[in-house]
Amino acid sequence: MSKHFKFDVLIVGSGAAGLTVALNLPKSTSVAILAKTNFEQYASYFAQGGISAVLEPDDSIDQHVQDTLTAGAGLCDPEVVTFTAARGSQCIQWLSDLGMPFTKDRQEVSKSGYHLTREGGHSKRRVVHAADATGKALQQTLQAHLHEYSNIQIFQHHLAIDLICANNRCQGLYALDRSDHHVDVFAAQKIVLATGGASKVYLYTSNPDGSTGDGIAMAWRAGCRVANMEFIQFHPTCLYHPDAKSFLVTEAVRGEGGKLLLPDGERFMQRFDERAELAPRDIVARAIDHEMKRLGSDCVYLDISHKSRAFIKSHFPTIYRRCLEYDIDITNEPIPVVPAAHYTCGGIMIDTNGQTDLDDLYAVGEVSYSGLHGANRMASNSLLECLVFARSTAQHITGTLIADIDPPDLKRWDESQVTDSDEDVVVAHNWDELRRFMWDYVGIVRTNKRLERALNRTNLLKREINEYYGNYRVSADLLELRNLVMVAELIIHSAMQRKESRGLHFTLDYPNTSDKLALPTILVPKIDDPKQQQSISLVTT
């Protein structure tokens, strides 16, 4: 039976961004966290590299800002970049106080005491990490403190469906309880979307299965603007093996001297960029894609075996163990790698308080567009963004909550006109078709014709999915597919608007970067009928 819940703050997502918001709210605040599955199915859990922060005297906030602006190819918001970089050391100190097991500097070279790595796009060693499993350590550190907060209630296996809004104010949402298949209603003073990105819209991705763009799609349907959806970061190095699923080989391998090789053992990155393996991810991913297509090769290779066995096992224990499972000993042989969709640089437009276009609705982390990443995210700036914006969001919520106010009673979910589906094959088929044509037509290299083909297929799928959604009881697969096709449409429309190649968006029809002032691609939803929020047309600015 469906249930109705009321809280001061409702957080959708239990990854690093969502948990950081929760732990920075007053203990007098009633907080609900909706976890789509469990705590281990968020991209932040799988982050290997680390958190970028200025911690050494030979580094500076200005250098971090400049590196980020350079990687962002002219589309970062300088004020947001400065805002974020300036708060990095505070976040590291907060995590250290919580007991985060950061890797220490055994050589006593760094003044901070942390072992710092240098990754693509960074001019200094400023990436603090926990071996090669920083995301896992971060997630576990945050989770370990949840028991100290009796005001926080966790709802696992709850998949948000749609936001409930009135008069430009978000009041709550509907969520599918996957354990009993009923739709519950959650009302709250403040709602925070921390649902992650949308890389599952592509066939090959480093992200977990839950990265289906739920928050972006829900916010768009409710009337929020989104920006820069054309900029999808493809991580250059994911393990290539028929039995390996979504395993990323961290940027830090290249930062510590790993070389990219063709099948014949020849290095190639120096032909594409003077920074070679340390070039930003978009350049490295395109170079790998070019070489694979030129040679008809299934993969390229990443070689760190020239380092000592002890060094490799101590710096990259997770990668070492995982590769051994597939009979690849990285201390003696190179790692077969391919690019895969990794990070959504665009998302719901927010300010530095995490506020969206709707009153009382916030967005934090990969689901959002803050202006930090521009046309390309610099390595290890993502966890930094999660922490900085989660803390600023929690601060703003704390300062604007109204004491002793009861959220309104919201209308319960109506499924009186629907039936159980006997055609689930339609969902499975459409899910597969969508991810395949997005990979083929809207991937690392694009053309006008490919984008047009993708949009035509998206429109067909959207009609089928909306008809299915209106006639049958909702399921997790259907809801995720509905969100994915909406996000796919946003990506395609954004890509069509950008008549140039910049950062992560590369098109053969406009291979050069425009000399004109770079502006973000902003899509504005136009709700034709407020009572029928599914009828939305795209307006670009």
Q: List the beta bridge partners of residue 264.
A: none
Q: Are 348 and 356 in contact (CB under 8 A)?
A: yes
Distance, in Å, from the CA atom of 141 to the CA atom of 383, rounded to the nearest integer, reads 14
Buried b (16+ CB within 10 A) or exposed e, 176-196: bbeeeeebbbbbbbbbbbbbb
Rounded to 5 degrees, what are φ and ψ at 5? -120, 150
Rounded to 5 degrees, what are φ and ψ at 266? -80, 135
What is the residue type of 32?
A
How many C-beta atoms lie closer than 10 Å to residue 34's C-beta? 25
Q: What is the DSSP string of 357-397?
A: SSBTEEE-GGGEE-SSSTTSPPTTHHHHHHHHHHHHHHHHH
Q: List the beta bridge partners of residue 340.
A: 235
Q: Are 105 and 116 in contact (CB under 8 A)?
A: yes
So which residues are the catalytic ones? Answer: 281
Nearest to 226 by CA among 370, 78, 375: 370
Q: How far is CA 13 from each of CA 43, 164, 189, 503, rounded to the nearest angstrom?
A: 11, 17, 17, 29
Rounded to 5 degrees, what are φ and ψ at 456? -60, -45
Cα torsion at 489, 492, 496, 499 (round to 10°)?
Answer: 140
Buried b (16+ CB within 10 A) or exposed e, 126-155: bbbbbbbbbbbbbbbbbeeebeeeebbebb
What is the residue type of 489?
E
Distance, in Å, from the CA atom of 222 to the CA atom of 525, rounded to the nearest integer, reads 9
Task: List all residues 6 or more positions away from 82 whose beta carbon is below 8 Å from its beta carbon.
Answer: 61, 65
How deeply is 156 buried, as exposed, middle or buried, from its count of CB atoms within 10 A (0-12, 13-18, 19+)? middle
Sheet containing strand 116-117, strands side by side: 51-52, 127-128, 116-117
